[in-house]
Amino acid sequence: MTASPSPARSAARPAVAPAALPPAGLDGFDTAHSRLLSVGDDSWHYVDTADALAALGVEPVGTVLAVHGNPTWSYLWRHVVAATLDAARSGGPAWRVVAVDQLEMGYSSRSGSARTLPQRIDDLSAFTDALGLTGPVVTLGHDWGGVISLGWATTHPESLAGVMLLNTAVHQPADVPIPAPLRLARARGMLGAGSVQTTGFLDVTLSLAAPPLAPSVRAGYRAPYPTAARRRGIGAFVADIPVDASHPSHARLTRLAADVAALRVAALMLWGPRDPIFSDRYLDDLVGRLPHAQVHRFEGAGHLVAEDAPVAESVLTWLGEYVPASGSEGASGSEGASGADGAAGADGDRADRASVDFAPLWARLEERRDDPTDAVIELRGEGVRRVSWRTLNDRVTRLAAGLHRLGVRKGDRVSLLTIPGATLTAVVYACLRLGAVVVVADAGLGVQGLGRALRGAYPDYVIGETRGLAAARALGWPGIRISTARLPRASARALGVTVSLRELLDWPSVAVPPAPGPDEPAAILYTSGSTGPAKGVVYTHAQLSAVRDALGEHFAVTPDSGLVTGFAPFALLGPALGARSSTPEMDVSAPRTLTARAVAAAVAAAAADIVFLSPAAILNVVATAGELESGERTVLEGVRTVLSTGAPVSERMLSDLVDLMPNATAHAIYGMTECLLVSDITLEEVRSVRSVRAVGSVGSAAVSASGGSASRDEGVCVGHPIAGVEARISALDALGRATGSPSTAAGVLGEVLISAPHLKSGYDRLWLTDREAERDTPSGGRWHRTGDVGHLDADGRLWIEGRVPHVIATTDGPVAPVGAEQAIETVEAVRRAAVVGVGPQGLRQFVAVVEAEPRARRASLAAPELARDVRESVGHPLVAVFTVAQLPTDIRHNSKIDRAGLSLWAEAALEGRRLSAP
């Protein structure tokens, strides 16, 4: 296949149109920085802030060389220009910005030439030579401007200090067609018509912004391209896309891809995942070439990420943290502190602590490789599948060899779309042994959430059951597909399956590589999505092993222990702990499907003495307790420890659970995906620190935000931090922001900070989120900001009182909602309550939304008697009391109330705009 003819070649060569200055009045574009420069027969329009910095009396610390793509122009960088000048005016590092209009584009000259990629890289070099640009230089490129900027970067190592990229690509796999929109734009009859004769290509590109661009901003982008003659460069750019090896730009792009992998300067990638052209496939390729880069995917942003997301602010932050303000180290300079996961440079002290006495997660399997007793017991339907330690270790060893023979290598990402059980256990440990990174996203995220997670992680391989593989195929999820079971040839072909696990087990064995080290990445575990889009949490091998050790030591798990794990994150830790484990029959994507009889069957099968359950599962287990037969009740009497984790749980719920397991000590564990074990409290401790109030809703306390002590503790007491975990509080200011110095003082309302050996390494490809989630403390090190609001009591116990965004900033200061919610739930008719704020920050008012008995059929203002009782129960004035059939909750735990959504709903209802179900 050859390149489509350029519109510039097929038309008569027009007279050269020289560069011109943009007109005044373009939204956000300051023409005071516009310049013209002649280079040979060409003339360039470019933006340069050098004179503006000189007028401020500051010397630039370096230059940002910004290169736009197709069909934009230097208008794309107006926010970066403004932000850098604002920073210089404020006394920050002064970065000069030089943003070019590429030849044939924007307001640069029009010669009618169809420029190829090699020519454009040479053009840019000629421009910077004529400008006299010297280092340190950090390139910034978008779309094909990213490729051209990298071409300049790789040929100017003596001046280069860093590279910054927005959605772009340097490699197109030979077996993958170019993106469909580009194929359409290049199609015969479409190239000239869509790109030159009409504004179609330009209009479609501008339509990709989310939210839509303001008309004035659209006009700014369209300004240089009013006629077909002015748009010839757009068509020529499209024609220059190297679709195959015969294209004149293909060889240069191939060489550039290799050169980029040799760069050792600081690197930043800011990405819009919704881009239909430069998808996460290309981000994954770039991350593989620049593994030391900081990466942030702005969920919801698309191709015009510079318009959709805070790119300018992110650029300034990164420049300040990763590029030296004095001089350039060139291409052999620092790689920066953090890796592509935004995690490699996480707290070194914590990593060192986690690596002490490191034993890999699969160590117990190897120790018991000759043991014929049960390791994993799987209950499905009427059947019970038992897998011995000897068999499990053999499966892990053979699967590791088979996966390695298939091509799975250290650092490759393997997504697992299979339910907990013996198969998933063997696959996880085989991948970990190889050094592959397992990607685990809860099925409770739903198809859309799963797809978003997998596209973000961009796994190299997907291992799944038929249902998961069908979704992967239908929705185009990435990765080479491996089925758990051997499929008929037609089915395997339809699902795009390369091989089955059964076949891998039968392949001739090969030697596996040395085991990964403690500080290498091991897993990416996705959050529930209850506080925003699900995030991939990165764990190293040392951190996963630290989770195992903390769990085993705190709950005295021994080789004689039997575990029932109805909570997915812990379902895989049984073999790591050296204990036999059993997963009860349930739909793991819907914890409420777990029944009391299923728990009893799992306890009996494993002779279990420890049971892990999520709160949503406990609700149904308690609700179905009446179905238990006498023998099943006897079995449950053998349980000595029952643990609830994953979301808050009430005292009543724990009490009901202990009624089923009368000899068990009930524990409520506070933790999160980022740190699965933070603190623990037993039912007996709950009863000793609380009288009547429920212990379940995450919420608030009437505690002084300025450091004063509360008259009494409110909220959810989650107990003392377990061994190795430290907790501190950052006090809230008047607007509910956690700005106070981290403290262990009692009675201070603020954000909970934690540090632990088993704390996550970072977030996957969310560099900015990593920064926001980490907090320095006076004693040094990095601590995780949990986003939870709470306080420490006089005995050092931690109380959780809500999420930071749910704090209600009133004229009397910040108030977290749970204290009021707990008070409302003492009203006899109220089943569950939420308290949210309405109105402007600092002047918020309280609204209560309740589930009451009898259940409301639709949302409405509460009946007068109920409203009166609710108001009398709380110490805050309520502007309204609503009743709803069901409070909205998160999709995984079915127990965390969506207070942010309820607040918006309540405001709309009070304004008369809406009173449908929230």
The string of pLDDT tens digits covering residues 55-102 is 999 999 999 999 999 999 999 999 999 999 999 999 999 999 999 999
Same-domain check for residues 105 and 165: yes
In a domain, 421, yes or no: no
Q: Is the pLDDT of residue 13 over 60?
A: no
Cβ proximity of 458 and 340 under 8 Å? no
pLDDT in tens, 409-421: 999 999 999 888 8
Same-domain check for residues 168 and 296: yes
First to last CA, the chain: 55
Same-domain check for residues 724 and 797: yes
CA-nearest of 661, 666, 700 to 680 is 666
* pLDDT reported for residue 616: 79
Same-domain check for residues 127 and 256: yes
* pLDDT reported for residue 878: 92
In a domain, 114, yes or no: yes
* pLDDT reported for residue 782: 72
Mean pLDDT of the chain: 87
State mean pLDDT over 490-509: 94
In a domain, 552, yes or no: no
* pLDDT reported for residue 522: 97
* pLDDT reported for residue 860: 86
Which of 270, 297, 332 is the endpoint of a domain? 332
Q: How far apart are CA 286 and CA 147, in angstroms?
A: 11
Rounded to 10 degrees, the C-alpha dihedral 441/447/449/453 comes to 50
Instruction: Give the whole-number percent of the chain exceeding pLDDT 70.
Output: 87
Q: What is the domain range of residue 773?
A: 670-808
Same-domain check for residues 848 and 749: no
Same-domain check for residues 754 and 867: no
Same-domain check for residues 36 and 170: yes
Q: Which of 137-146, 161-170, 749-758, 821-830 has the lowest mean pLDDT?
A: 821-830
- Residue 518 CA from chain centroid, whole number: 23
* pLDDT reported for residue 185: 62
In a domain, 409, yes or no: no
Cβ proximity of 236 and 6 under 8 Å? yes
Same-domain check for residues 706 and 742: yes
**Residue whose pair of structure tokens reads 């010297």 in the numeric block:** 134
CA-nearest of 644, 664, 561, 576 to 608 is 561
In a domain, 596, yes or no: no
Two tokens at 57? 């009396």
**DSSP 3-state helix, strand, coil percentages of the chain (rounded to 5)?**
35, 20, 40
Cβ proximity of 875 and 848 under 8 Å? no
Please count the CA atoms within 13 angstroms of the CA of 166 that sit on its side-chain side: 30
State mean pLDDT over 318-328: 76
499-505 long-range Cβ contacts below 8 angstroms, 24+ apart? 499/406, 501/399, 501/402, 501/423, 501/427, 501/463, 503/402, 504/398, 504/399, 504/402, 504/403, 504/405, 504/406, 505/395, 505/398, 505/399, 505/402
Q: Is the pLDDT of residue 338 over 50?
A: no
Most confident of 185-199, 263-277, 368-382, 606-620: 263-277
Instruction: Give the whole-number percent of the chain exceeding pLDDT 90.
Output: 65
Q: How far apart are CA 106 and CA 73, in angstroms?
A: 5
**188 burial type by CB count under 10 A (0-12 exposed, 13-18 middle, 19+ buried):** exposed
CATH number of the domain encompassing residue 795: 2.30.38.10
Q: How many domains does the chain have?
A: 3
Cβ proximity of 644 and 622 under 8 Å? no
**pTM for the whole thing?**
0.88
Most confident of 51-65, 715-729, 761-775: 51-65
Q: How confident is the model at residue 176 (pLDDT cuts 50, 70, 90)?
A: confident
Handedness of CA 360, 365, 366, 368 (dihedral sign): positive
Two tokens at 844? 């918020």
State mean pLDDT over 689-704: 43
DSSP string over 186-206: HSTTTHHIIIIISSHHHHHHH
CATH number of the domain encompassing residue 255: 3.40.50.1820
Same-domain check for residues 48 and 84: yes
CATH number of the domain encompassing residue 833: 3.30.300.30
In a domain, 430, yes or no: no
Residues contacting 387, CB < 8 A, separation 6+? 374, 375, 376, 377, 378, 395, 422
* pLDDT reported for residue 777: 60
Please give the DSSP secondary-structure letter assigned to residue 827: S
State mean pLDDT over 680-690: 88
In a domain, 530, yes or no: no
Most confident of 213-227, 591-605, 829-843: 213-227
Which of 306, 332, 358 is the endpoint of a domain? 332
Q: Which of 357-366, 528-537, 553-562 has the lowest mean pLDDT?
A: 528-537
Please indicate whether residue 69 or residue 648 has the higher confidence score (pLDDT).
Answer: 69
Same-domain check for residues 821 and 773: no
Q: Is the pLDDT of residue 226 over 90?
A: yes
Q: Is the pLDDT of residue 711 over 60?
A: no
* pLDDT reported for residue 895: 54
Cβ proximity of 97 and 84 under 8 Å? yes
Please count the CA atoms within 13 angstroms of the CA of 655 that sit on its side-chain side: 11
Which of 332, 352, 373 is the endpoint of a domain? 332
Same-domain check for residues 843 and 783: no
136 cis-preceded (ω within 30 degrees of 0): yes
* pLDDT reported for residue 337: 40
In a domain, 772, yes or no: yes
- Size of the chain in residues: 918
Q: How far apart are CA 135 and CA 69, in angstroms?
A: 23
Same-domain check for residues 248 and 138: yes
